[in-house]
Each structure stands twice: as structure tokens, then as C-alpha cells.
Amino acid sequence: MDKKKIIFNCGWELFHSKGFKDTNISDIAKMAGIAVGTFYNYYSSKEQLFFEIYIKENEKLKKHIFESLDMNQDPITIVRQIVEQNISTVNSNKILKEWYNRDLFRELEHYYEEVRGNDDSIRGLYTGLIKKWRAEGKIRNDIDDDLLTAFFDSLTYIDSHKEEIGIRHFPQLIQYLAEFIMKGLTDSQK
């Protein structure tokens, strides 16, 4: 196995068990059996490594969700299932959950801009479904694709703030919001 893959795997293990903040480059290098300087031959920072790991986790999540969906269901049911699976997985996966840490997101935001069009993310899953539903006449055409995907992204952000909103309202709040969004988007009168 090449060194970059070893560093990646060790980073994944440490980020998954300790989180981003409590993992440092020397921990990763020690676990990988390399010098700290060697780490920098492959990654410019801990943030870059974390972001690559995050992207891979997001790709796995999208694949898992996509394979579990019955595309013959109505858009409301499909979106509700995607949102539920996404939130459940994010809450159980420390790497995916870190994305919703505001301080960390600010550090990683410039990496995100580089791969924003990546169709292997959950956002890419929504984008593909929106295009499909538009072609089939199942969803409104008067709202920009980026805004549409932001509606769905916001549901995961809301879930990450359930303590401030009132935990007693969850998961029903997310389920209703997903339904309300989709009913608004599939309303043929718009």
C-alpha cells in the first residue's frame, strides 16, 4: 500500500474515533509509521486530509442511500427517505457530523469551493433527482437548482441545532419540513 493511502486510512481512523479537533498531524504520522515531514509530502494540512476523507464518506453515504431508494415512489416519499437516512448517518458518523461544526466548516470552506460541482455528494443526489423530476414534469421549474438543493441541505443543518430549537420536536419537525418543501415544489398550480 502506498504512503498516501496509509496516511488516508490512519487519518480516517483517528478522525472517526477522536474527531477533527482532537486529532493532530503527529498522531496521524505516528499511526502511519512515518515522519511528520513525510505527511506534508502528501497533504498540505490536516484540513486537506480531513476534507478528502469527508468527501469519500459523503460518496459512500450517497451510494448507500441511492441503492436503498425505490425510484418509482413519489418525490415526497423519496425526499423524506433521503433526509431521514442522511440525518441518521450524519448523527452516527463523526466525520460526516464534523461538517456541521461551524468553526471547522469555515476552515474547510475553500476546499469545498474546489469540488462544489462534485456529483458524488448527497447534494449531487438531490441535483440528479431534481433534473429527473423536472424532465418528468413532477417538480416546479421556476426555482433555481442551487436553491432547491439548499432547501434539502438546510434540513440537516436544522437537525444539527435541535437542542436550540427544542429536541422534543424531532424527528417530526424534519419529516414535516421535508414534506412541506416537497409539496410546495410538486404543486402543479405554481
- Taking only the tens place, the pLDDT of each residue in 126-149 is 888 999 999 998 989 899 888 988
The distance in angstroms from the start CA to the end CA of the chain is: 55
pLDDT in tens, 10-68: 999 999 999 999 999 999 999 999 999 999 999 999 999 999 999 899 899 989 999 99
**Helices and strands, number each (H, E), in the chain:** 11, 0
Size (the chain), residues: 190
Q: Distance between CA 146 and CA 175 in Å, rounded?
A: 21
pTM, entire model: 0.79
- Asked if 158 contacts 177 with a C-beta cutoff of 8 angstroms, the reply is yes
**Do residues 24 and 14 touch, judged by C-beta distance below 8 A?**
no
